[in-house]
């Protein structure tokens, strides 16, 4: 059972890195389709680049987390608002082709934190 949990954790981690990695770089390097999509959501060029930089910071924390696990958890928590924001924005604008990846990121956030050996929430 522990092996399955570990496999799920690292597959989720790879998917999380991939989606946020390319999304942040597309925003920073101003890929035309990303810029048009963000503009349709109401974000101008400056905000789109700023969001991309913040997402890239979260991705870098995830990568640093390969060496120190607390940075991985911090990166996940930094990226959580962007996952929720993307989900709600795409739903509000009925952009269902982007809806699934943002929903997946919201779910994978919970999966990553729940399967991490070093993350606990005490109530």
Query: Is 123 contained in some domain?
Result: no
The pLDDT value recorded for residue 27 is 94
pTM > 0.85: yes or no = yes
Q: How many structural domains compose the chain?
A: 1
Query: Is 60 contained in some domain?
Result: yes
Query: Is 72 contained in some domain?
Result: yes
Longest dimension (CA), the chain: 47
Query: Is 120 contained in some domain?
Result: no
Find, among 59, 56, 30, the residue nearest to 43 by Cα: 30
Query: Is 95 contained in some domain?
Result: yes
Domain that holds residue 41: 2-115
The pLDDT value recorded for residue 90 is 83
The pLDDT value recorded for residue 13 is 95
Query: Is 121 contained in some domain?
Result: no
What does each C-alpha distance from 25 to 18, 55, 79, 87 come to in angstroms?
Answer: 11, 9, 14, 19
- Segment-wise mean pLDDT, segments of 10 residues, the chain, 123 residues: 91 95 94 89 92 96 91 94 92 80 93 88 79
Find, among 106, 58, 61, the residue nearest to 85 by Cα: 106
Query: Is 82 contained in some domain?
Result: yes
């Amino acid at each position: 059972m522990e092996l399955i949990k570990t496999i799920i954790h690292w597959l989720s981690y790879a998917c999380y890195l991939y989606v946020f990695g390319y999304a942040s770089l597309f925003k920073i390097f101003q890929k035309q389709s990303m810029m048009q999509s963000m503009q349709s959501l109401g974000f101008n060029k400056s905000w789109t680049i700023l969001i991309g930089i913040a997402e890239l910071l979260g991705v870098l924390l995830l990568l640093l987390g390969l060496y120190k696990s607390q940075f991985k958890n911090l990166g996940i928590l930094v990226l959580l608002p962007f996952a929720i924001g993307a989900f709600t924005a795409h739903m509000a604008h009925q952009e269902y082709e982007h809806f699934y990846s943002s929903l997946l990121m919201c779910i994978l956030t919970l999966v990553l934190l729940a399967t991490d050996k070093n993350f606990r929430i005490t109530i």
